[in-house]
Amino acid sequence: MMLRIWLNAVLLICGHFCNATGAFVGVNIGTDVSNMPSAPDIVAILRAHQITHVRLYDANAHMLNALAKTGIEVMVSVTNKEVLGIGELASTAAAWVNKNVAAYAPSTNITSISVGSEVLTTLPHAAPILVPAMSNLYKALVASNLNYQVKVSTPNSMDVVSRSFPPSTATFNTELNSIMIQILQFLMNTKSFYMLNAYPYYEYVKSNGIFPLDYALFKPLAPVKQIVDPNTLFHYNSMFDALIDATYNSIADLNFSGIPIIVTETGWPWFGGSNEPDATSGNAEVYINNLIRRVSNDSGPPSQPAVPINTYIYELFNEDKRPGPISERNWGLVFTNGTSVYDLGLADAEISTGVNSSSSFCIARPSADEKSLQGGLNWACGHGQANCAAVQKGQPCYIPDTLQNHASYAYNDYYQKMRGSGGTCDFGGTATTTTVDPSYGSCSSNSTLGGLFPSSALGPVGQSSDSTRTAVGLHFGTMVAAAAAVCLVI
């Protein structure tokens, strides 16, 4: 099964939803908010912080009008209440598309439709009608000549997976196999993506101490505490990556491949009740900053290192009208007046990265073709005199054993040694620079500052208390990784 995943990795390289600008981080905008700002005010907040991807939980006309001509990419949603009607009648689906998509395109940049929210686990009686609803919406898009611009999918929680660790043995719940096969076949046929709601916070809480908090927060783990899949020997430096790989393996278990995953929801609550000790602003700040850094590396989880992880953070505002525990109402990144809930470097357009702002690293472009990349690697390790010993088998930077990983290391070794005397980061157009420190585990940037390593690509994160700040071109605590001109939007 793992071999099948690796063989199909190339098919996923920026295939269905990644473009030349690489991975992005977007935001969800919920509506259970007291004193909700007007649509123009919300868009003003988005534009002020240069947020370029948003997910709406409905298809609010005021928001869609306000988003017109902003260039912001918009995911609109069919609510759970609407799924049944759209699934039962093609005419209802056509009316929905005409009213909520065609009426605004292309002025409003609608790029996808989210059909319901976790329907399989929250509305199981609607499961049989879910794929017909998706199919009816897709046919309506075809009729409007919008099917190439707008993708259709449905978000699922991790609850559809029977057991997420180890990722290599993860499978979908057997009672859902029939509907999951239908969903995956639809996604394959329409070249769409699998929508995943992945919450390390909840998985950590449910684990009852089995997994360390640092693992959920993307923080480095001591060698004796590192999380390793015993079947693949993949090292998981974050629960986020493990959850995504568990989903990829569940998809592969049903004999599907080539379907990329987009994370439609993830986040960390910044306040909770007395029985929610880990819902703190400090943990939320670390999680969000490190998540942004993780996604900005433009790489995938260990089983799919070449597939970036487009991600939407939950959420822009605190939805204070939501029922449930106190933490449920405290996931917001900003208050309704636009000020940040916790320190994300809003005022100075900075983010904690753990590297000096003057640092620069040279990595292989994710879009580089294999032949050119091999040529660049050969030159760097030969004529360029890069020290490539660390990427040899058995050495600390050998895993993952991918051409992009090894080329990134060699490129960066050459660049760090030679840039002072005129050496450049080009390698026939297969390389680019980034300010994101790509170190990980024992493969450290403290020596030759090697590569962007797709299996983890996190480096020494989680050090916001004493780390330096790197100025970036995006507000609201984002950073721009020059690698593939990553579009970060938080």
List, by residue number, the catalytic residues: 118, 265
Distance CA 54, CA 43 (A): 10
Whether residue 151 contacts residue 111, with contact meaning beta carbons closer than 8 Å, is answered with yes
Q: For the residues of 92-119, what is the DSSP string, one character each?
A: HHHHHHIIIIITTTTTS-EEEEEESSSH
CA-based max dimension of the chain: 68
* Crossing angle of helices 127-143 and 90-97, rounded to 10°: 50
Distance CA 239, CA 218 (A): 7
Q: Residue 61: what are its φ and ψ, rounded to 5°? A: -65, -40
- Strand-pair category, 194-197 with 155-157: parallel
Helix, strand, coil content of the chain in percent (nearest 5): 35, 15, 50
The beta-strand segments (E) located in 251-375 are: 261-266, 311-313, 350-352, 361-364
Distance of CA 159 to the CA centre of its chain: 19
In the three-class reduction of DSSP (H, G, I as helix; E, B as strand; rest coil), residue 299 is classed as coil
Report how far apart, in Å, the C-alpha atoms of 438 and of each of 160, 214, 363, 443, 457 are. 33, 19, 9, 9, 5
Whether residue 127 contacts residue 154, with contact meaning beta carbons closer than 8 Å, is answered with no
Whether residue 15 contacts residue 306, with contact meaning beta carbons closer than 8 Å, is answered with no
In the three-class reduction of DSSP (H, G, I as helix; E, B as strand; rest coil), residue 388 is classed as coil
What is the number of residues in the chain? 490
Whether residue 161 contacts residue 247, with contact meaning beta carbons closer than 8 Å, is answered with yes
Distance CA 118, CA 197 (A): 8
Q: What angle do CA 396, 450, 371 make, to 5 degrees?
A: 100
Is the peptide bond preceding residue 124 cis, with omega within 30 degrees of 0? no
Report how far apart, in Å, the C-alpha atoms of 106 and of each of 64, 150, 303 are. 11, 11, 36
Report how far apart, in Å, the C-alpha atoms of 38 and of each of 3, 31, 44, 277, 337 are. 51, 11, 10, 34, 11
